Amino acid sequence: MYSDYICIIYMMTVDALYFMLVTHVCINFMVLYDDFQNLKNSNFANLNKCIQNHQTIIELSEHLDAIFRLPNFFNILVGSFEICALGFCITVGKWSDLPGYFLFLSTVLAQIWMISIFGDNIISKSSEINDAVWKCYWNSTDAKTQRIFLLIMLRSQKPQKLTAYMSTICCSSFMKILNNSWSYFSILRSVYKPPEISNG
């Protein structure tokens, strides 16, 4: 119990930090979205400031990805095996142990789901900058400013994302984790042979 308590506190602390930092980046993208939309009211006087803020937020999200790439990979890898193992224990375990298995399984699923949701948020919020630039009447400016807006739109079409080395953290990756866990579970069930009960 003591080891479980330490493990849960450690995971909750890291996950809470992850959620707060991702939320901070998403809020900055939302503020930048409003700034780009308000450019038409300020006659594009704040364009340079918006560009600098955009570059700063992009760098911040890239640093965030570099920091949490390994923990995300660990969560996905270990979570896949935990879901598989818990599903197997539920199917072959004792009835008295089922509440504990279901509680542990729901905790693992909730953790991976939350990580995926926050990863999906940073993708969507960074992609919305393209829409904000498009709506700020950029076509009424001179050719030089239009080229600047075009570069911003091109850059924002490549959304910022959080990764676990090879995979992107998003809702679709959560479904891939479930599919992989189901594959492992199917293999484990196919090779499992229940112990024979001796009559003597």
Q: Quick one: pLDDT band at residue 1, thresholds 50, 70, 90? A: low
Q: What pLDDT sits at residue 200?
A: 47
Which tops the pLDDT comparison, 159 or 136? 159
Main-chain phi, psi angles of 163, to 5 degrees:
-125, 165
> Is a pLDDT exceeding 80 seen at residue 8?
no
pLDDT tens sequence across 113-158 = 989 999 999 999 999 998 888 888 777 778 888 888 888 888 888 8
Of the chain, the percentage scoring pLDDT greater than 90 comes to 25
CA distance 29 to 120: 14
118 touches 23 (CB < 8 A): yes
- The average pLDDT across 32-58 equals 84
- The average pLDDT across 53-79 equals 90
Domains in the chain: boundaries: 2-191
Q: Within a 10 A sphere around the Cβ of 167, how many other Cβ atoms?
A: 14
| Amino acid symbol at 104 | F
CA distance 28 to 57: 7
Instruction: Using alpha carbons, select from 73, 37, 65 the residue that is nearest to residue 122.
Output: 65
| Amino acid symbol at 91 | T
Q: Quick one: pLDDT band at residue 2, thresholds 50, 70, 90? A: low
pLDDT tens sequence across 72-128 = 888 888 888 888 888 888 888 777 777 878 887 888 888 889 899 999 999 999 999
Contacts of 185 (CB under 8 A, 6+ apart): 83, 84, 87, 88
CA distance 93 to 142: 71
> Is a pLDDT exceeding 60 seen at residue 69?
yes
> Is a pLDDT exceeding 60 seen at residue 26?
yes
Classify residue 65 by burial, with Cβ atoms within 10 Å: 0-12, 13-18, 19+.
buried
